[in-house]
């Protein structure tokens, strides 16, 4: 009788534990290519786990990768998959070579992704794109994507913080301490937050891509505000 009661109690405990346990979200590094691809390298994190969560995340990542491979932003988006985007990039190069056979400049596209931060509440992902189509220099672009870890829905930068006015003032001070050549950048009085704000293990990362606020020669401008300075402003628990 004792053993039976013990087994029943254990089974009930395991059942309750399994019901209360949150579904885990795991990212796997995945490489994308096609049979005729010779120019494009795509290595990005792909989410696995709860379908209702991962579909949102993977769909948004896929859309960003496809956008990064587009050569003419004015054209409507008709590409549906990353593989199709890769083949289209290769096809465009082949057409270019047919029109300008004397050109010796090879094309290339490299897209890499990494998980900046993953907690029970928030996921921040960085996508880095380098595309060179024969110009004076390639185009390097970094994008931060933030997601609600419980739903997979995207989170706007403005929704990361409780008070954007206070965060803007704090970011302005860190920005002024980060930049070296203050003469080439905008007036601190007209400071604006970057398009890319994400979280990593240290705090909030703010990143300005080339041309966003300065000449190309200045490159990417990036700085981090530590968690101890922003915890009171965050809409998400950074300790989870």
Residue 11 banded pLDDT, cuts 50, 70, 90: very low
Residue 18 banded pLDDT, cuts 50, 70, 90: very low
Q: Say how far apart CA 198 and CA 114 lie, in whole Å.
A: 12
Instruction: Tell me: pLDDT of 134 over 90.
Output: no
Higher pLDDT, 176 or 86: 86
Task: Copy the structure tokens of residue 133.
Answer: 């189509």
* pLDDT tens track for 29-82: 999 999 999 999 999 999 999 998 999 999 999 999 999 999 887 777 889 999
Q: Say how far apart CA 221 and CA 226 lie, in whole Å.
A: 17
The pLDDT score that the predictor gives to residue 236 is 84
Do 49 and 20 contact (CB within 8 A), yes or no? no
Domains of the chain: 22-155 (3.30.565.40), 156-240 (3.90.640.20)
The pLDDT score that the predictor gives to residue 186 is 55
Distance of CA 149 to the CA centre of its chain: 14
Q: Which of 75, 71, 69, 73 is nearest to 37 (CA)?
A: 69
* pLDDT tens track for 76-103: 788 999 999 999 999 999 999 999 999 8
């Amino acid at each position: 009788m004792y053993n039976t009661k013990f087994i029943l109690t254990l089974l009930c405990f395991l059942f309750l534990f399994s019901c209360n346990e949150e579904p885990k979200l795991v990212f796997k590094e995945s490489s994308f290519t096609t049979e005729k691809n010779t120019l494009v390298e795509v290595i990005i994190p792909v989410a696995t786990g709860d379908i209702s969560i991962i579909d949102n995340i993977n769909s948004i990542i896929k859309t960003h990768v496809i956008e990064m491979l587009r050569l003419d932003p004015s054209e409507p988006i008709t590409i549906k998959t990353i593989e199709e985007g890769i083949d289209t990039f290769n096809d465009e190069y082949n057409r270019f070579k047919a029109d300008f056979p004397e050109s010796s400049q090879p094309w290339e596209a490299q897209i890499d992704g990494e998980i900046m931060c993953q907690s029970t509440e928030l996921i921040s992902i960085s996508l880095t794109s380098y595309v060179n189509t024969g110009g004076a220099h390639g185009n390097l672009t970094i994008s931060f994507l933030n997601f609600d870890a419980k739903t997979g829905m995207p989170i706007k930068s403005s929704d990361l913080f409780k008070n954007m006015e206070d965060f803007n003032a704090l970011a302005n001070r860190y920005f002024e301490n980060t930049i070296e050549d203050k003469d080439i950048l905008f007036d601190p009085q007209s400071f604006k937050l970057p398009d890319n704000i994400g979280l990593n293990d240290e705090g909030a990362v703010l990143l300005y891509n080339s041309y966003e606020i300065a000449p190309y020669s200045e490159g990417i401008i990036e700085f981090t505000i530590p968690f101890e300075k922003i915890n009171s402003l965050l809409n998400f628990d950074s300790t989870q």
